[in-house]
Amino acid sequence: MKQLLSGNEAIALGAYHSGMGFATAYPGTPSTEILQNISSMEGVYSEWSINEKVALEVGIGAAYAGIRTLVTMKHVGLNVAADPFFALATTGTNAGIIVVSCDDPGEHSSQGEQDNRHFAKFAKVPMIEPTDSQEAYELMDWAFKISEEFDTPVLFRSTTRISHCKSVVNVNRERPSNVSDPKFLRSSAKYVMVPSNARVRRIAMEERIAKLREYVENFPLNEMIMGDRKLGVISSGIAYQNAREVFNGASFLKLVTTYPIPEKLIRKFASEVEKVIVIEELDPHLEEEIRLLGIDVSGKDFIPIIGELNPEIVEAGAIKSGLIPTPPRSNTTEVPAVQIPPRRPQLCAGCPHVGPEFILRKIAFDSSVKPSLTPREMTEKEMVITSDIGCYTLGVYEPLGALDTCVCMGASIGVGLGMSKAGIPNKGVAVLGDSTFMHSGVTGLIDVVYKQGNTTVLILDNRTTAMTGHQGHPGTGVSVTGTKGPEVNLEKLCEGIGIKDITVISAFDLETVESTIRRCVETDEPSVIIARGPCALREKIKGTPFEIDADSCIQCHECLDVGCPAICITGEDINIDPAVCVGPACGVCAQVCPSEAIVEMKR
């Protein structure tokens, strides 16, 4: 049966048809849809975890217990899960376990760019990479088999274009009827990594990689496609598709087992062509591995090491290096490429983060100092706003411009604590969302208590993981299937840690937001402010929109500082788009207006 599937859908279906019985994840673009697709599959236990480390740990438990398991995350998620990942590489497994890392070349929606192929070599585990949805589907079965045959986790790497592009998949398998029953085989030598056992496993890891080197030589989905023998292109993943478009007619070696690489196959291919090049996205992973074989190869001298590739970029590199001729200029009038006006990412109309970030800008930044891109000294009365990762990070952009740092998920509290312990004279507020607080913010807060810090933590609690598409988390109790379980109570959690000063406020009540922050930063105790308000997009909030009363408007433009997408300026006139404004449930602009010119629209 043929189906049009994205890479993520194909990964989910491929795993299902391979007898996967357990799946865990923490959301993160471009990986999120894998678990979302699995969640409706019968016979599979699936769950969002509190973070990627726990997702992998829970997955390890299931695989040890004899159930084929899939654990998915975005590239930076594997940094969080690196500790159990390396440990799993050491212990090996019982049932097959696949760790899917979806990388984001070009940082479409990530805090950093990194090439997770390094993790395979680093942890000494096999890696597989599909070049399209068909392979994503098929390779799942191979990955589970490799995992079980070689007693190893398999790193399955996808990238944004593989995960999100749709292509036709020949769905040629069905879910086996005899999915294995759970069974843990007791063996402390294998599963208890005290040094004496770990040293034995360490030897097993090297033996495993040696066997895998042999195994990949005959892997059926690595493919030599011979054309013109003047040029041989070795490639993998989405870069293979780009290369096929550019080097029309050349010979290709498509690799899906990208660690370890099939040495003999590569030698054979290289011996059959005059020149070998590697086309790969990000780091020269394949290029370096191939060069180590003593094969003369080039690639990164003409293909960028940064960002996502596309056929145009590959073509430009190939022309520059003389591999292909410059295409003749056509006589026909060229149709100019469609220019899409650039749009800065911004918070939605009615977003509960807007008000608190507006207040932070107002009280933490000296309004007489112009925003600048170069570092500047802070005045003493200014405050440092250490932020985290979530929708609220968009508050870094003008006109809000309310944030000073954003390091990685959960870092806002630790970074703020570090600054105050280092002795900077400025007060500070650490800002993070409810999902991020659960993910890894809470450990920072425990450290604040332990170190007797006085950090003020502002949790922007919109009761969802909004940035990645409204997933539940322990604070909401909502599972991946939408069922409701017990909620971890934020206030009580903070209280249990030892925070005495906890204030819950409405995120839309600007006066209270301001007075609470001002009070908290002045105390010597650590404090937590929970600014609560529903995500307008998720709750589809829409009330009678506001409008500008032209007679009262003094054209001070202060409402523009809120950065609401519903408010626009034409000439000197301010207008509120009634289709976008959510109305009184928000009302932030009306609170900001000094002349009470923003009023509910009269019908």
User: Which of 409, 531, 537, 597 lies at the binding interface for ligand TPP (CB under 6 A)?
Assistant: 409
Structure tokens at 477: 């109790």
Annotate 350-407 with three-state secondary structure. CCCCHHHHHHHHHHHCCCCCCCCCCCCCCCCCCCEEEECCCHHHHHHCCCCCCCCEEC
By CB under 6 A, tell whether 8 contacts ligand TPP. Answer: no
Residue 50 within binding range of ligand TPP, rule CB under 6 A? no
Instruction: Please report whether residue 387 would count as binding ligand TPP according to CB under 6 A.
Output: no
Class of residue 522 by CB neighbours under 10 A (exposed 0-12, middle 13-18, buried 19+): exposed
Q: What are phi and psi of 528, to 5 degrees?
A: -125, 125
φ, ψ for residue 70, nearest 5 deg:
-120, 130
Minimum distance of ligand TPP from residue 82's CB (angstroms): 11
Distance (Å, rounded) from C-alpha 515 to C-alpha 355?
Answer: 13
Spatial separation of the C-alpha atoms in residues 456 and 429, rounded to whole Å:
5
How many other C-beta atoms are found inside a 10 Å radius of the C-beta of residue 571?
5
Does 400 contact ligand TPP by CB under 6 A? Answer: no
- Smallest gap from residue 466 Cβ to ligand TPP (A): 3
- Whole-Å CA distances, 316 to 247, 265, 297, 342, 347: 12, 29, 19, 24, 37
Told to check if 359 binds ligand TPP by CB under 6 A, we report: no
- Cβ contacts of 441 within 8 Å, gap of 6 or more: 388, 410, 412, 413, 432, 457, 459
Q: Would you say 110 or 241 has its CB closer to ligand TPP?
A: 110
Instruction: Give the residue with the Cβ less far from ligand TPP, 92 or 441.
Output: 441
84 contacts ligand TPP (rule: CB under 6 A)? no
Contact 269, 340 (CB under 8 A): no
Using the rule CB under 6 A, is 433 a contact of ligand TPP? yes
390 binds ligand TPP (CB under 6 A): yes
365 in contact with ligand TPP (CB under 6 A): no
Q: Is 436 in the site for ligand TPP (CB under 6 A)?
A: yes
Rounded to a whole number of angstroms, the minimum distance from the CB of residue 382 to ligand TPP is 25
Query: How many chain residues bind ligand TPP (CB under 6 A)?
Result: 24
465 binds ligand TPP (CB under 6 A): yes
Could you report how far apart the first and last alpha carbons of the chain are, in Å? 55
DSSP structure class, residue 216: G
Whether the bond between 105 and the residue before it is cis, its omega within 30 degrees of 0, is: no
Find, among 517, 540, 538, the residue nearest to 528 by Cα.
517
For residue 399, whether the previous peptide bond is cis, meaning omega lies within 30 degrees of 0, is yes
Piece in contact with ligand TPP (CB under 6 A), picked from 21-29, 233-241, 265-273, 416-424 = 21-29
Task: Say whether residue 468 binds ligand TPP (CB under 6 A).
Answer: yes
Query: Per-residue x/- marks for ligand TPP, 111-130, CB under 6 A?
Result: x-------------------
Task: Considering the complex, state which of residue 443 and residue 452 has its C-beta at the smaller distance from ligand TPP.
Answer: 443
Q: Can residue 77 be called a binding residue for ligand TPP (CB under 6 A)?
A: yes
User: Nearer to ligand TPP by C-beta: 299 or 475?
Assistant: 475
CB of 409 vs ligand TPP, minimal distance in Å? 4
Residue closer to ligand TPP by CB (options 27, 262) is 27
Q: Does 434 bind ligand TPP (CB under 6 A)?
A: yes
Which of 258, 468 has the CB closer to ligand TPP? 468
Applying CB under 6 A, the residues found at the interface with ligand TPP are 26-28, 74, 76-77, 80, 111, 389-392, 409, 432-436, 462, 464-468
